[in-house]
């Protein structure tokens, strides 16, 4: 065994205990005499597995029966295209608060279906902060307000849930779902691609307040109607069964770890360790994000001397620290430190960074 | 080990050799020090894995460079909603030839986006045959003609590719892709959910003639534009990496078996064995489909005495023959005998059926 610490932004590290369980039952799931990959989604074994994952997610996040919980295909990007079709009449407006790349993408995917209003954006400042709440230019009677609680590329995170009154909050939690407790009742929709904090790629979690659905007045293809997925327990068509199953194992692992509260404590500690190393490097490393908006999940950083990037990436990889190359839009480095990265993984990264700085400073 | 023969309609049986390879490299893929599930889709290891799967699919099906090959999310149902948006202007008409449930579903998902014309249907005869080609009422200048070469529920299969002149053929090959050689150049689009003949659920294969794309004149969300997936090698957003990888292993296994030609021979033999057992049972078992349209992949059958269904299913399962319950729309039994089911699996089923008939006849 020579598994390394994997700081990929997504798909991303999974708990080793989960991978070992998947491996042990890969050819025969429980008493089914077949791999889970081979089981019908209509059979009892998979239905039980899927329902357990939903129950565990409801438990972990405190999701009430006012909300449906879906395990869909298509990624958060597809969801962002489907959300205005399902939640807004064509003449309505959707408000956006933009704090990075993924918020922009969501806006592009909603624009053909609804009026859009950028209520606030931090683009002029190259997405280094979160616009103050009192500066937001909200639309009266907006269908919903969309924002991205954690921007994976820019490394900008909301550390509180904004208050926008009665307008439903719709939030892309792809990169920080279950990284800390969140009050679901404050949201209209929480959605998240699974491949960062929850499991392998191929499933998009959608937590949607049921009363928001079915009022759009549009003639949609049935497969675009989220209500059809609600009525069919996410099996209006064949779901990504294997990814759903692995997510279920990750959720069980999260419960064993102590749930969102335990994750919050650990993630705060990991973020403290890494930002302290950056801030304490006398400018060798820098993170550009304003303190109030620094992400606990994705930490981009650059070196004063960018010529060292190649050496940093080569040596860190050799040291068992993978996936540290920054997104091509920003360059430099990025460490994604999701739930499955333990404190000792971040400590190993910090140790390497300090040693590298000493040798090259 | 007590793996059984699995006749599920989908998700369905996979080659055991493929499952063993997945198991062996589950914690560490090649020299990556991480599971494939944990690897970034932007990293070289996954890009190589994905590109190899595309090359193998092109090889196995003889796909020319005039076609793009995509590995998307959403299932064939989502694709059927996206196809008219991508291939037809809003005022155009799409022709349908309906030979079962899935053709009907595709029509429902296309109807909100385009004019639809049922050029031919076997619905009046409860989908037991394929309407003769000279009875089809085609639309002049249709955007495309959609049909389902194999209907998974009804067990109806086209054994030849229909000729409709210059109108692009668009075909949902979910349940018979690579079950025999097909001349791809006769098609505008071949699409298929992977979870029957190709691998686990979560990937939809789309083989699309490139010149058909980008002429729809619609304002679509970027994620709905198939051209964006073509330009980005199916990575316009995060794909279902693990399913894609397993499909790649299945394609390599298919090559080792001798490809589509070898599968055709084996599938013909499996179908012959099973239909002979049904037809030779003196009415104990019957299959309702006209001889010219019987599927090689999905064989529904009923017993003259439906009271025996429960006993049949219970005893067959005990005998290591899984997933034989018929679709709820038709009742009775169904054996799906995709590529991964060996001749000896069908022989075991036939032996059981004959023994069961003897004991209960």
DSSP letters of B30-57? TTSSS-GGGS-TTSHHHHHHHHHHHHHH
> Which residue out of A48, A66, A111, A196 is catalytically annotated?
A196
Residues in chain B closer than 8 A to A238 (CB atoms): 10-11, 75, 193, 195, 201
pLDDT of residue A341: 98
**Cβ–Cβ contact A220 with B under 8 A:** yes
Structural domains in chain B, sorted by start: 16-256 (3.40.640.10), 259-360 (3.90.1150.10)
The sign of the torsion formed by the CA atoms of A190, A100, A251, A163 equals negative
End-to-end CA distance of chain A: 34
pLDDT of residue B281: 98
CB–CB contact A77 B223 (8 Å): yes
* Rounded distance between C-alpha atoms, residue A325 and residue A9, angstroms: 10
In a mutagenesis test of the B interface, which of A7, A11, A77 is the best target, namely the one with the most B β-carbons within 10 Å?
Answer: A11
User: Which 3 state secondary structure label does DSSP give A156?
Assistant: strand
Task: Tell me how close the Cα of B227 comes to any Cα of chain A, in angstroms.
Answer: 15
> B74: which 2 tokens?
């959403």
Helices (H) and strands (E) in chain A, counts: 9, 14
Interface of B with A in 162-201 (CB under 8 A): 193, 195, 199-201
CB–CB contact A237 B78 (8 Å): yes
**Cβ–Cβ contact A326 with B under 8 A:** no
Task: Tell me how close the Cα of B38 comes to any Cα of chain A, in angstroms.
Answer: 5
A358 is catalytic: no
Give the distance between the most distant pair of CA atoms in chain B. 64
Does residue B195 register a pLDDT over 60? yes
CB–CB contacts below 8 A, A to B = 214
pLDDT of residue A329: 86
pLDDT of residue A2: 86
A48 is catalytic: no
Ramachandran region, residue A184 (left: φ > 0; alpha: ψ -120 to 50; beta: rest)? alpha
Sheet with A67-72, edge to edge strand ranges: A67-72, A204-209, A189-193, A169-172, A144-147, A93-98, A115-121
pTM of the model: 0.98
User: Which 3 state secondary structure label does DSSP give A244?
Assistant: helix
pLDDT of residue B329: 86
End-to-end CA distance of chain B: 34
Could you tell me which of A294, A328, A329, A340 has the C-alpha nearest to residue A150? A294
Q: Parallel, antiparallel, or unpaired for β A169-172 and A333-336?
A: unpaired
Instruction: Give residue B2's pLDDT band: very low, low, confident or very high (50, 70, 90).
Output: confident
Report the DSSP beta bridge partners of residue A286: A302
Give the distance between the most distant pair of CA atoms in chain A. 64
pLDDT of residue A361: 86
* Rounded distance between C-alpha atoms, residue A246 and residue A22, angstroms: 7
Q: Which residues make Cβ contacts (< 8 Å) with residue A80, sequence separation at least 6?
A: A105, A106, A109, A110, A146, A172, A191, B221, B223
pLDDT of residue B81: 98
DSSP designation for A16: H
Does residue B289 register a pLDDT over 80? yes
* Predicted confidence pLDDT, tens digits, chain A (361 residues): 589 999 999 999 999 999 999 999 999 999 999 999 999 999 999 999 999 999 999 999 999 999 999 999 999 999 999 999 999 999 999 999 999 999 999 999 999 999 999 999 999 999 999 999 999 999 999 999 999 999 999 999 999 999 999 999 999 999 999 999 999 999 999 999 999 999 999 999 999 999 999 999 999 999 999 999 999 999 999 999 999 999 999 999 999 999 999 999 999 999 999 999 999 999 999 999 999 999 999 999 999 999 999 999 999 999 999 999 999 889 999 999 999 999 999 999 999 999 999 999 8
pLDDT of residue A211: 98
Average pLDDT over residues B173-201: 98
DSSP designation for A25: T
> Which residue out of A56, A172, A244, A270 is catalytically annotated?
A172
CB–CB contact A220 B20 (8 Å): no
Does residue B1 register a pLDDT over 70? no
How many angstroms separate the Cα of B265 from the Cα of each of B59, B270, B285, B337, B345?
19, 9, 25, 13, 16
The overall average pLDDT reported for chain B is: 97
Instruction: Give residue B337's pLDDT band: very low, low, confident or very high (50, 70, 90).
Output: very high
pLDDT of residue B361: 86
Q: Are B190 and B67 in contact (CB under 8 A)?
A: no
CB–CB contact A26 B19 (8 Å): yes
């Amino acid at each position: 065994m020579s598994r390394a610490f994997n700081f990929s932004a997504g798909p991303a590290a999974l708990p080793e205990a989960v991978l070992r369980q998947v491996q042990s039952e890969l050819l025969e799931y429980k008493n089914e005499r077949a791999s889970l990959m081979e089981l019908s989604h209509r059979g009892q074994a998979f239905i039980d597995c899927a329902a357990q994952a939903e129950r565990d997610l409801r438990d972990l996040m405190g999701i009430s029966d006012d909300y449906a919980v879906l395990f869909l295909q298509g990624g958060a990007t597809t969801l962002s295209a489907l959300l205005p079709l399902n939640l807004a009449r064509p003449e309505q407006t959707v408000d956006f608060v933009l704090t990075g790349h993924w918020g922009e993408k969501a806006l592009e995917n909603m624009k053909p279906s609804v009026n859009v209003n950028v209520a606030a954006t931090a683009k002029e400042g190259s997405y280094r902060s979160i616009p103050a709440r009192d500066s937001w230019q909200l639309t009266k009677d907006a269908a919903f307000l969309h924002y991205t609680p954690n921007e994976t590329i820019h490394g900008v995170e909301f550390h509180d849930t904004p208050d926008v009154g009665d307008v439903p909050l719709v939030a892309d939690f792809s990169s920080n779902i279950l990284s800390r407790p969140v009050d679901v009742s404050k949201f209209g929709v929480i959605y998240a691609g699974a491949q960062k904090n929850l499991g392998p790629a191929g499933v998009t979690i959608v937590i949607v307040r049921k009363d928001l659905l079915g009022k759009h007045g549009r003639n949609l293809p049935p497969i675009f109607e989220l209500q059809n997925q609600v009525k069919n327990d996410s099996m209006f068509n064949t779901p990504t069964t294997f990814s759903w199953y692995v997510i279920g194992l990750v959720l069980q692992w999260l419960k064993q770890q102590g749930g969102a509260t335990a994750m919050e404590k650990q993630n705060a500690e990991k973020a403290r360790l890494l930002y302290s190393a950056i801030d304490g490097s006398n400018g060798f490393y820098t993170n550009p994000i304003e303190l109030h908006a620094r992400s606990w999940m994705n930490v981009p950083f650059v070196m004063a001397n960018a010529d060292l990037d190649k050496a940093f990436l080569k040596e860190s990889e050799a040291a068992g620290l993978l996936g540290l190359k920054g997104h091509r839009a920003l360059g430099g480095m990025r460490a994604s430190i999701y739930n499955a990265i333990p404190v000792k993984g971040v400590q190993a990264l910090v140790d390497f960074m300090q040693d590298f700085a000493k040798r090259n400073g």
